[in-house]
Structure 1
Amino acid sequence: MSAKKVSIYTLNQLLHHGKQPAAGGLERYMRDIAVLMREMGYDVNFVQNGTHRWKRDYMGFTVYGVPMLEGNVSDIEAMDRVSHDRVLYGWVGQQETYKDTEGIVINHGIWWDDANYDLERLPWIIPNIVNGLDHCKVMVTVDTAFLNWCRSTIGNRIRGKLRYIPNYVDLNMFRPEEKTKETDFVTVLYPRRISPVRGIELAKRLSVRLLGKYAHVKFKFAVDHNHPQLWNEFVEWADAHPYRDRLDIGNYYFDDIPNAYREADIVLLPTIQSEGTSFSCLESMGCGKAIVTTAVGGMTDLILDGFNGRLVMPEEESLFEALCELIEDGELRRTFGHHAYMTAKAFSKERWEAQWAKWIAAVYG
C-alpha cells in the first residue's frame, strides 16, 4: 500500500531564496513534525514562501518555494496548486483559505501582544482564528496563553477542536554538562535570533551595563544568520562595543547550539512579544542553566519565578536587577539550574512525539 501523502505549509523551512535552511524555533518544530510523520509512514513534503518558484531537497523532503504576493503575504492559492490533497497547516496566521478542511492547523503563540502593534490589524485577528477553527479538524496550540485567550474571546467557537501540546526539548542533546574549561568568569548567554521581538536591543544594552559593572563577567550572543544585512549591522555594533574583549558573538544552528549552552552560567531570554513555549528556554532548562526571562506568552508555562529561574517584566531595569542577582549568587544559579533541569523532563521530546502521533493518526489516517 502506498504511503499517505501530506503537505506541510510553512513560512520558511528554507530561506526564501531556497539556498539554505532557516534557523529558528518554528523551523525546527516543522522539521521534527515532518520527521515524525515520515517515521509513521507518511509521504511528506513542504510548501513555503519563496522569492521565486523553486524546488529543493531538504533532509530527504521535497520543498516547494512559491512566490509571495505583494506585502510578503503567502500566496495560498498557488501553494494549494502544488500541494497534496491532505495538508498540515504550520501557522494559523498564514492562512486565509483552507484546501483541507479536515486537517490540523497550528498556532505558535499570541503574536499581537505588543503595544506598538498596528491597531488597524487587530480586527483581523479574531476572524482569522475563527476561520482556522471552522476549517480544521484540530487546532494545536503550543502555549496556554493562546488557549486562554480563545476561551475568553471566542468561547463556544472552539467546539472541542483546540488542543494544547507544548513545545519540547531533546534531553539527549540538551543536558547538563561541565564546561570545557573552568574559569572565574560568569558567562551570560543570549541564544536567540537578531530580532526586536526577541529582545535583541535589550540584550545589547544589558551587555554594556553588565560588562561595565562586573570585570568577571563575559557576554555571549549565539544568534542566527538568516538575514546577512542584520548580521553585518550586528557585527558593526559588536566591534564598537566598549568591552569587546569580553564580548563573544557567533552563528549557531540546530546541531551546534548545545556547545553555546555548555559554556554559559546564565541564559538571558528578554523576549518582548510573540512567544510560545520557547525552544531557547526549554533547551536552557535541559542544560540545567539559570534563566532570566520575561512574563510574555508561553514563558509563563515554563518558568516559575523563584523556583527554576527569574520571570520578570520585559523591561531593561527588571532584567538588569535579575541578572545582577544571579551574577552575584552562585548558589542561586545552581539551584535554579537544577530545578530547571527537573522541569524540563516534563517537556521531553518523547512525550511531545507521543502526543503528536496520536493526533496525526486520528486526523490523517
Structure 2
Amino acid sequence: MEAKEVFLVGSSAEELAVAMRSDAIDGIIKDFGTKITSILLTNGATGVSNGLWNFADFERAFRWQSFMYYSKSPRIEKGDYPYAVFCEDLSTLRETVDAWSSLRLFSNYSAKNTVAAKTTTFFDFYGLNGYCGGAERYLVDLDNILRETGRGVSLDIYQQSLVPFFRRFGAANVIGLGNLTSDDTGAPQLWTAESVNGNAARFEQMAGVRSQAYIYSSFYECQSADLRPALGISHGVFWDSPHTTEEQRKRVLDRARMCAEIVSVDTNTCNWLQTVDFNFAINNCTFVPNYVDTEEFYPRDGYLEPSDRIRIVFPRRLYAPRGLDLVLEVLDSVLEAHQNVEFHFVGRGEADDLARIDKFVSEYSGRVFRYEKMPDEMPEVYRMADISLIPTVNSEGTSLSCLEALSSGNLVIATRVGGLVDLVFNNYNGLLVDPRSEALLGALEYAIDNLPLMSRVRKKAVEVAEAFSKRRWKENWLRVLDGMGLGEGQNCDELELVEVILPSDFVPTEAACDLIRSELCKGALVYVKTSSLKESLRLQEEYGGNLLQFLPADTPSVAPVARTYILNQDGVMS
C-alpha cells in the first residue's frame, strides 16, 4: 500500500524549505507513515515535477482537496479552500497537525485517471439514502464493466447535492458536488442560476483533476464542451412532458451537441435527434438498449398453468409519468368485475400518491397491496405475478421493469411510449396500447378473460428478453469504451469502508483522533456516525474531508463495512 500523501503548501521558498527540514515534518512522516509533498505557489508557470504551481492552476486542482498552508504572510484565503488547514508558525506545526481539525489533511481521495459519471441524483441531496432505480443500477453495472477491463479504471459518480459528500454504494464511489441552493424551507433549488452554474463549475473542479473521460447520465447534465472525451447517455426522451417548453427542447439539443457521442437506450431518442439534426444523429448516436439478467429473472415453475388467482403487478416508481393515474382510474372497474384479481403496487412514491393507493388497499383488503422491495428481491415479485403493467405516459426508455417482467414470463401490458416499442410487439410478446385509461382497461379485460390463451405470447416474452441479455449489453458497452481510448488508471482500487460510532454526548478526544487518523492513513473511507443530521453537518464542516465523512447514526451504509469501532465517551472502544 502506498503511503498516504499529505500536501504542505507555501508561498515562500525559504519558509517551505525550512519547514520540510524541520523535526515537526520528520516526526509526522515517522509517526503516521505518510509522504509529505511540498508545493510552492508562484506567479510563474506551473511545474508539477518540481513542486511549482501558479495560483490559478493550484486553485483548479486543490479547491476541493486537503492541504496545510504554511506561511507567515498568507496569500490565499481560508474561505476559498474548504478543506485547507492554515499554520503561520513553525513551532505550532506539529500541534496543528495533531488536532481534530487537521484530520482532513489525511482524507484526500488520490485516484487518478478514473472515468467521471455525472448524474442528478444517486443519493438524496444530503447523501444519506441511496436510490436503487434503473438509472442507479445502470451506473453501478457500468462501473463493474470498467473494473473488469483490467485497466485499473473505475467509475466515480458525481451528483448534485446540498452539501459536499463522499459515499460508497456497493463498490462505486458517489461524490456530492454541494452545488445546490435551498429555499426558506430548506428544499433544494435545482434550477436557480447559482445551482446550475455551481453544478458545472464544481464538477470541473472535482472531476477534472482526476478523470480521463466523462460520462453524463443523462446527457442533459453536460453543460460544457471543455471536458473531453465526453459521452452522454439518453435513458429515454424526457422532454415529451406536457410541461416542456420550446426553449427547454432547444436546450436539450444544445446539451446533446456538447457530447462527442450519445449512447441511447432506445431508438426513440436517436430518431428524434435525426429529425432536428440529421448529421449529428447519424454520426454521433449509438443505440445500446437496456438489459436484463436472465439468470436472475426467469419464470416460476408452471407459470403457464391456470391459477385461482390472477396477480397483476405495477413494478415501478409510483407516480403519474409511469402511468399510476391510468391504473388507478381503471382499478375499481377491474376489481369489481373480476373477484379473482389482485393488484400489487411495488415501488416508492410521494406521500400524496401513496395515500391514493392506500385508499384502495383499505377498500379492497387482501386484494390490493402496496410495498417496496430491494432490487435483489424483485425477481420473486415477478415470479409471483401473472401480468405486469408498464403503462408509461411520458419520459420512458427501454424500461428495466419491462425487460424484467418479460424475462419472468409475465404478460406485459405496455403503452406505445418512448422505448417501450423497442421491447413489446403487440400480440407477439405482449400487449401494446395507447396511453389512455380506456385503452388500458380494454387490454386488462382482454388479458384477464383470455389469460390461458396468452401462453404463446408469454413464451415469446421470455424468448425476446434473451435478445436484451446483460451479456450483450456488456459487449456493446465494451465497444463504446474501447472507442474512448481509455488509458491505465492509478489508485483505483476499491476503498475499504470503516465505521466509527460516536456516543450521543461525545467530546473529541486524542484517542478517537488517533484511531480515525490511523484508518485514513490506511487509505480507508471513514464514516463517523453521530447523534443527528444537525450534529453531523456541524462536524463535517469543522473536521470533515473527502474520505472523512460525518453522518447521522441511522444512515444505512449500502456498502460492505470492513471494520466498525464503537467508542465510549473517552473516545476508546467500548
| CA shift in 2, pair 1:353/1:3, >3 Å | farther
**Match of residue 196 from structure 1:** 320
Distance in 1 of aligned mates of 2:244 and 2:173: 35
**Match of residue 361 from structure 1:** 482
Q: Following superposition of structure 1 onto structure 2, how do residues 1-365 of structure 1 map, counting pairs within 5 Å?
A: 4-41=113-150, 42-69=153-180, 71-73=189-191, 75-83=199-207, 84-85=210-211, 86-132=213-259, 136=260, 138-158=261-281, 160-178=283-301, 183-224=307-348, 229=351, 233=355, 236-240=358-362, 242-365=363-486
| CA shift in 2, pair 1:201/1:183, >3 Å | same
Distance in 2 of aligned mates of 1:249 and 1:50: 30
Of 14-23 and 164-173, more deviation after overlay is shown by 14-23
Q: Deviations over 1:168-213 (max 9, x none)?
A: 0000011111379985011111001022110111122222221121
Structure 1 segments of 4+ aligned residues over 6 angstroms from their partners: 179-182
Q: What is the CA-CA distance between 1:271 and the residue it aligns to?
A: 0.3
Q: What is the CA-CA distance between 1:37 and the residue it aligns to?
A: 0.9
Distance in 2 of aligned mates of 1:279 and 1:301: 12
Q: Deviations over 1:43-75 (max 9, x none)?
A: 321111223111112212221112344541451
Output the TM-score relative to the length of structure 1.
0.91
Q: What is the CA-CA distance between 1:96 and the residue it aligns to?
A: 1.6
Distance in 2 of aligned mates of 1:220 and 1:206: 14
| CA shift in 2, pair 1:53/1:345, >3 Å | same
Query: What root-mean-square deviation, in Å, do the aligned CA atoms of Structure 1 and Structure 2 show?
Result: 2.2
Amino acid across the alignment from 2:178: P
Q: What is the CA-CA distance between 1:150 and the residue it aligns to?
A: 1.3
Which one has a bigger Cα radius of gyration?
2
| CA shift in 2, pair 1:237/1:80, >3 Å | farther
| CA shift in 2, pair 1:29/1:297, >3 Å | same
Structure 2 unaligned blocks of 5 or more? 1-110, 182-188, 487-574
Of 39-48 and 176-185, more deviation after overlay is shown by 176-185
| CA shift in 2, pair 1:302/1:254, >3 Å | same
SS of residue in 2 equivalent to 1:55: strand
| CA shift in 2, pair 1:219/1:159, >3 Å | closer
Distance in 1 of aligned mates of 2:252 and 2:296: 37
User: What is the number of equivalent residue pairs in this alignment?
Assistant: 357
Distance in 1 of aligned mates of 2:430 and 2:346: 20
Distance in 2 of aligned mates of 1:51 and 1:250: 29
Q: What is the CA-CA distance between 1:231 and the residue it aligns to?
A: 6.8
Q: What is the CA-CA distance between 1:141 and the residue it aligns to?
A: 0.7
Give the share of equivalent positions with the same residue, in percent. 27
Distance in 2 of aligned mates of 1:255 and 1:93: 29
Q: What is the CA-CA distance between 1:38 and the residue it aligns to?
A: 1.5
Q: What is the CA-CA distance between 1:120 and the residue it aligns to?
A: 4.5
